[in-house]
Amino acid sequence: MKIGDKLKGRITGIQPYGAFVELGNGTIGLIHISEIRPGYIENIHDILKIGQQVQVQVVDYDEFSGKASLSMRTLEEERHRLPRRHRFSNGRCKIGFEPLGRQMPIWIEEAKGFLKEEKE
């Protein structure tokens, strides 16, 4: 098993934070509630049932414990050709480090002034 594999499994347990899935090779994986589908999920029991067959994608796999992090959301986004969101960036603002680059000379001069005052 490797990251990116698409597998079929069966829901064996449901908790408020996600669902446990038994994969065909005996591995147990967890689908975190945020990886079930895009958007907010109020009640996980409205979407998944114990014994339900699901198609999942491996997001992470720990070889030592044999546990996998799984996602159904990535497959749904792929089906609908939704762009993959970057979790720690603002997609509307594609400016990168430009504001920091503009501010850097000002910060350097402020730091030099502070160090000069401290030295005197």
Asked whether 20 and 28 are in contact (CB, 8 A), the reply is yes
User: Is 6-83 CATH 2.40.50.140?
Assistant: yes
Give percent of the chain above pLDDT 70.
84
Distance CA 1, CA 19 (A): 19
Long-range contacts of 39-47 (CB under 8 A, 24+ apart): 44/14, 44/15, 44/16, 44/18, 44/19, 45/14
What is Dmax (Cα atoms) for the chain?
Answer: 75
What CA–CA distance (Å, rounded) separates 118 from 19? 58
What's the average model confidence in pLDDT over 101-110? 88
pLDDT bin (cut points 50, 70, 90) of residue 104 is confident
Three-class SS state of 20: strand
Confidence of residue 96 (pLDDT cuts 50, 70, 90): low
CA 86 – CA 75 distance, rounded (Å): 16
Domain ranges within the chain, ordered by starting residue: 6-83
8-state DSSP, 75: H
- Confidence tier at 53 by pLDDT (50, 70, 90): very high
Write out the two tokens for 92: 């509307």
pLDDT band at 26 (very low <50, low <70, confident <90, very high): confident
Neighbours of 35 (CB within 10 A): 19
